[in-house]
Amino acid sequence: MSDNILEERIQALESQLQQQAAHIEVLEKKLTELDNIEVIKRLQKAYGYYVEHWMYEEIVDCFSDGPGVYLNWIEGVWKGKEGVRRYFTHGGKATPTPSGFSHQLMPTSGLITVAPDGSTANGRWYGFGAIFNSDEGKVEKAEFTSGIYEVNYVKEDVTWKIRSFDWIIPYVVRINEMCEGPEIRSRRIIKGAGEGGTFIPDPDTPLDANDLRYVSGYVFPFHYSHPVTGKKTSEGKRNARLKPLKLE
């Protein structure tokens, strides 16, 4: 093989390596962007679960410690992480959330746009869910709320956090006379199980009337730690305040 042919082959291989390196760089950037999007979606969804039972410690921990933090709600604007804390603790009182309160929040249709430098992102979500108070299963002030979020996120060190919320409510559906809490339905289930029936076969483990799933305010345990702090969440402490269902 002549020196000229060998040189041509070396140049061709070098060109291919350069093209492959450039292609790998593009793929790595795309992979990083997709990974950021998934982490942000996880953060937003975790926030929604914490709002359901107004777990204010976990909610506040979702927010940035830096500048530019705010909540732009219908009722007004709360600024800074301290403002976020004041809002979710009802003015800083940090009193236990009433066990019958529920603010179910189902973020859907999330569309995330990560900034080119990967340090910030914006998201748009539908926030649809039910808000109500349940007293021994009797539901008051119940409504379905449809909202739209525009959320700004920031990466602090290596952790994504929420920086700001802008929120509107296109419509609300009041459902007071159409809704009942878990106590009422659970009493029917327990009564039906005691009477027997042919529709549902006998369970391998009978129901336990002391199961806290039958009462308002029970927080179904999370399988994951907090997405920002990595700490175990407080549902155990909250559930410990509950009392078993009173059978009639």
Question: b/e for 63-77, b at 16 or more Cβ within 10 A?
Answer: bbeeeebbbeeeeee
SS3 state at 24: helix
SS3 state at 102: strand
Which two tokens mark 148?
């739209």
pLDDT value, residue 179:
78
CA distance 232 to 218: 17
Domains of the chain in sequence order:
3-177 (3.10.450.50)
CA distance 46 to 228: 10
pLDDT value, residue 196:
55
Which two tokens mark 154?
């920031």
Residues of the chain falling short of pLDDT 70: 1, 176-177, 193-200, 248
Q: What is the CA radius of gyration of the chain?
A: 26
**Cα 22 from chain centroid (whole Å):** 37
CB 209 within 8 A of CB 247: yes
Handedness of CA 9, 11, 14, 20 (dihedral sign): negative
Report the DSSP pairing between strands 70-73 and 159-174: parallel
